[in-house]
A and B are shown apart, each in its own frame.
Chain A
Amino acid sequence: MIEETLLKNEEKAVYALRSLYRRYGYLPFRMSKFEEYELYVRNKDFLVSDRVITFNDTNGKLLALKPDVTLSIIRGGEDTPGVKQKVCYNENVYRVSESTHRFKEIMQAGLECIGDVDLYDIYEVISLAAQSLTLISDRCALEISHLGLLSAVLDELCPDGAFREQALRYIAGKNAHDLRRLCAEYGIGPDGTDRLAVFITAYGDRHRVLDNLRAVFGTGAVRELQMLSDLLDGSPVGDRVTFDFSVVNDMNYYNGFVFRGFLDGICDSVLSGGQYDNMMRRVGRSSGAVGFALYLDLLEQLTSVRREYDVDVLLLYGPDTDCRAVADKVAALQADGLTVTAQKAVPAKLRFRELCDMRGGGV
């Protein structure tokens, strides 16, 4: 029997998430801690960072500690019409931290739906992403963007790669003032600039955003977003899901719908995902895929109640104290629901509520 109060936030989340994903038929995917380094060299465009921890196996082969889970999952498998492989995982990956510039172990949980993916699958994965967040905290938000729509508008306005890169950076940063300056630099008129700026100004409530987008781009352009939104209206977690085009996940990796999840009290997004058909093509697969990862190591930032004591009882015994008496006393205290540590001296820095001194025959 697991006592829930002893579990850390991330440990509680792992149990709850596994149970949730199993209910939707996502089977656990176990993978090796190591992959051949060549896999990451071939696909380094898809990695968050191209820096990978490598080492030689006993046979001389160069191996790497996984910097990414998805590549390992999608490189096998077949593409059969109508069929989807649905897997979930809980794995550690090794990446360079953006803040410390050193390698860091990151605990991830997530799921992938790979194969003949349709709108239902996208809805299911987005709904599971929102449910994952609500399992951890009631104060959560999932934000969805559509890279297809964003990409089409950018292509129509200016095909220049430098413009596109810079414009995406400003949209991701909700930076309307510099986006307008950039448009002026590239000779894009007020109408075009306003069309692009909608991706910064329209965010939040799905229905309101759809009204704004329809007014600018027409009904046809927002059809996919509309259909997804209609499905989410009937979901119990639909109220947690909004539209926000500042979610600009890597376009090398993702296409179509992309999303990010936030929890109040954690300064960065804790969940990231989307459709990654581009990556499937790269590994020679013809079908589609959608999935997400939750960064469990960030959950330790959630405020938890600080314990006033390390242990309820410090039981001190001497060199002559009968071991049976110590064992019985420990058992009796535990039976009263107390935590106890048996020691022969008071450990430095130990915070205890009460002292039970058995030295010299005392109780």
Chain B
Amino acid sequence: MLNIALPKGRLGEKVYAMFEAAGYECPSIREVNRKLVFENADTGVRYFWVKPSDVSIYVERGAADIGVAGKDILLEYEPAVYELLDLGLGKCRMAVAGPKDFYDDGTRTLRVATKFTNIASAYYAGIGRDIDIIKLNGSIEIAPLLGLSDVIVDIVETGSTLRENDLEVKTEILPISARLVANKSSFRFKGTEIERVVNALSRQIDAASNT
């Protein structure tokens, strides 16, 4: 039985559709109820919905053999997992954003509000800029509006939230998408099943990129 951690929400539903198309269907997952664990003995899979930022923890600790997590989470928490595939779903960008009229003249410590303190620290360390990190857990866009920070480092999908708050992308740090990850030990002892999933999903990704 392959244990698969899926991220709750829209991305998770798209990911499940890929698994379903790959032959790993589990009809009970489509039922409307509050269950969190779904199993199909015939296809040999057990799915469970978890908070997107927790997927990599379930996989790293072996509660799930494989799972799907955003590249942002993998870079931020650096879990000890194998990153086997870029699924090409949930594409967005990690970016520095700030008020349209803000210009960083480099004369003082830059105040950066973010959920992603590791990614932000690594980015600014890479360009040698001294910063003051302000860790927030949500509504990051409000920080520069209220003078809490000069800029933010956050995920930008369409940019509409930024525009509605008179903010703009200053610099793109890196592209983000959903990745298939595997537990290192499971990869040894359930390697054949995991390889089968990887091959089936790869075929879908290749087909999608050729259309």
Contacts and interface: CB of A to CB of B under 8 A. Distances in A.
Contacts of A173: 81-83
B86 interface: yes
Interface string A179-217: 000000000000000000000000010000000000000
Interface string B46-62: 00000000000000111
B74 to A, nearest CB: 9
A174 B185 contact: no
A177 B83 CA distance: 9
Interface in A138-182: 139, 141, 143, 173-175, 177-178
A334 to B, nearest CB: 40
B185 A268 contact: yes
Contacts of B83: 173-175, 177-178
Contacts of B85: 177
B98 to A, nearest CB: 26
B184 interface: yes
Interface string B73-93: 000000011111110000000
A262 B82 contact: no
Given A139-B189, A141-B188, A267 B62 contact: yes
A177 B188 CA distance: 21
B184 A262 contact: yes
Contacts of A175: 82-84
B183 interface: yes
A264 interface: yes
A171 B142 CA distance: 39
Interface string A283-301: 0000000000000000000
Interface in B158-193: 182-185, 187-189, 191
B86 A141 contact: no
Contacts of B86: 177-178
Contacts of B62: 266-268
Interface residues of B, number: 18
A246 B60 contact: no
Main DSSP-derived SS at the A contact region: loop
Contact of A262 (B84, B182, B189): B189
Contacts of A98: 80
A269 interface: yes
Contact of A267 (B60, B82, B84, B191): B60
A155 to B, nearest CB: 23
A173 B71 CA distance: 13
A141 B82 contact: no
Contacts of B189: 139, 141, 262, 264
B81 A262 contact: no
Given A174-B82, A174-B84, A178-B83, A267 B61 contact: yes
A192 to B, nearest CB: 21
Contacts of B185: 262-269
Contacts of B182: 174
A138 B122 CA distance: 42
Nearest to B186: A267
A51 to B, nearest CB: 17
B129 to A, nearest CB: 18
A95 to B, nearest CB: 15
A38 B82 CA distance: 37
Contacts of B188: 141, 143, 262, 264
Contacts of B60: 267
Nearest to A270: B185
Contacts of B184: 262, 267-269
A266 B185 CA distance: 7
Interface of B: 60-62, 80-86, 182-185, 187-189, 191
18 contacts: A141-B188, A173-B81, A174-B84, A174-B182, A174-B187, A175-B82, A175-B83, A177-B83, A178-B83, A178-B86, A262-B185, A262-B189, A264-B189, A266-B62, A266-B185, A267-B60, A267-B62, A269-B185
